[in-house]
Structure 1
Amino acid sequence: MKKIAVLLGLAFLGACSSDDTSAVASDSKTITANDFESLAGWNNDPATLDKGHAHSGQYAIKVDKDHEFSTTFDMALGLATPAKIKTVHLEAWAYLPSNKATGMLGVQVMDPATNQQVFGDGIRLGEQVKEYNKWTQVSKDIVLPDNITSLQHIRMSLWRADATDRVLVDDVKLSIKD
C-alpha cells in the first residue's frame, strides 16, 4: 500500500511538471525583477513600501523626506552569472507627484570586504519623467567598469537624492545586456 501511494505521488508530481524550458531560457539574463508583492532577495524595510498606489499589484517602493533609501536588492555578481558582465539594463515604472520628486533608481557595485562602492550609476528620474501624477516607464543601459569581479556585489535601490516630495517605483527589472 505504501509503495502504491509513493508511486501515485510521483506520478502526480510528474504530471504537474512542465517540459517548457523557454521561460527559463528566455529569462536567463535577468538578475532581478520585482513588483514588490514579495521581497525575496531584497533587504526588508516595510517603511519604504507604499501600499495602494502601485503600478501593478498593491505595493511599490518609495522614498520621501523621512526615508533616504528604499529597500535594497543585493547579490554577488558571481551568483548572477559566471560570465563577466559588461552592461546591465535597468528598467522600471516611476511615479513622481511633482517637480520636487526627483530621486534616482541606482545601481552600485560594492566591495563586500570593505563595504565601499566600486561603481555607481542609475536613472535620474526627474530627467526621464516629464508628466507628474502618472506612472512612466524609465530605462537605462549601464556600462560597468572592466575592473569588477565576481566577488563584488551588485545593489539596486531607490535613492531620494535631492527630492523633497515622495518618489514611487514599481515593476523593476535589472538584466544583463552583455
Structure 2
Amino acid sequence: MPRLTTWIALALLMTACSHDANKTKEKIPEVAADRVLFTTSFEDFEGWVAENPSLNKEKAHTGQYSIKVDQNMEFSQTYTNQLARLSPKRFDKVRLTAWGYLTAPSAAALVFQITRADQTSVFYEKIDINKVNSWEQVSKVLTLPTVLDPMDQVRIYLWRASATAPAYLDDVKLSVEP
C-alpha cells in the first residue's frame, strides 16, 4: 500500500509540474516581436567578466557603468556572439544604436564587425562619435552581406581611432530592421 501511495503522489506531482511549466511558457513574451537581438547598459558585467579597465564608473549615460577607451586602451571590451545565437532566423539589416561621449575634440567610433572562425573580416562598419562633453546618440542601419554563415561572429566595440582623451560608450542596442 505505501508503494501505491508513493506512485500516486509522484504522478500528481509530475502532472502539477508540467501544468505549471505550460503556464510559464505562455507568460514569457517573444523577444522576436520587438526585434531586439542584444542590448546592454553594462550594469550586468561587474563580476561576470575578467577585470577589464574599459568597464568603468567614470561616466555613464544610464546606470553606473559604461565602457571607455583612452590613450592607453585602443579597443574597449568587445561584445562577441555567433549570428546563430543572436537569432535562429536570417536577417538582412540591423540597426546599431548607442550613446557616445567624447571628453575632448578627437575621433572615436562604435564598431560593428562580422568575422569568420579564422578571424577574417566579412563585414566592417564604424559609426563616428563626434559630440564633445555631452552624450550623443549614434545609430545606423547596416545592410549585411548575403554570404554570411550562421557560425560567423558578431563583434561590437568602441575604438579610440585618433582619440587620446577618454571616450565613453553606453546603452548599446542591436535590433533587426524590416
Common topology (TM > 0.5): yes
Which residue is 1:156 aligned to? 156
Which residue is 1:53 aligned to? 59
RMSD: 2.8
Which residue is 1:120 aligned to? 124
Whole-angstrom CA distance in 2 between matches of 1:120 and 1:44: 26
Which residue is 2:77 aligned to? 71
Shift of 1:21: 3.8
> Which residue of 71, 88, 91 maps to 1:82?
88
Q: Which runs of 5+ in 1 are unaligned?
A: none
Shift of 1:84: 2.0
Whole-angstrom CA distance in 2 between matches of 1:117 and 1:52: 32
SS, match of residue 53 in structure 2 = helix
Q: Which amino acid aligns with 1:36?
A: F
CA contact (8 A) 2:129 2:136 kept: no
Whole-angstrom CA distance in 2 between matches of 1:157 and 1:45: 17
Whole-angstrom CA distance in 1 between matches of 2:78 and 2:137: 20
Which residue is 1:91 aligned to? 97
Q: 1:122 to 1:134 in 2, by over 3 A?
A: same
SS, match of residue 139 in structure 1 = strand
Which residue is 1:143 aligned to? 143
Normalised TM-score (structure 2): 0.79
Which residue is 2:111 aligned to? 106
Q: 1:18 to 1:118 in 2, by over 3 A?
A: closer
Q: Which runs of 5+ in 2 are unaligned?
A: 1-8
SS, match of residue 46 in structure 1 = coil
Whole-angstrom CA distance in 1 between matches of 2:145 and 2:121: 12
Identity of aligned residues (%): 35
| Number of corresponding residues | 165
Q: 1:24 to 1:77 in 2, by over 3 A?
A: closer
Normalised TM-score (structure 1): 0.79
Shift of 1:17: 5.2
CA contact (8 A) 1:45 1:71 kept: no
Shift of 1:165: 1.5
Q: Which amino acid aligns with 1:168?
A: Y
SS, match of residue 140 in structure 2 = strand
Shift of 1:26: 3.2
Question: Which of 1 and 2 has greater Rg?
Answer: 2
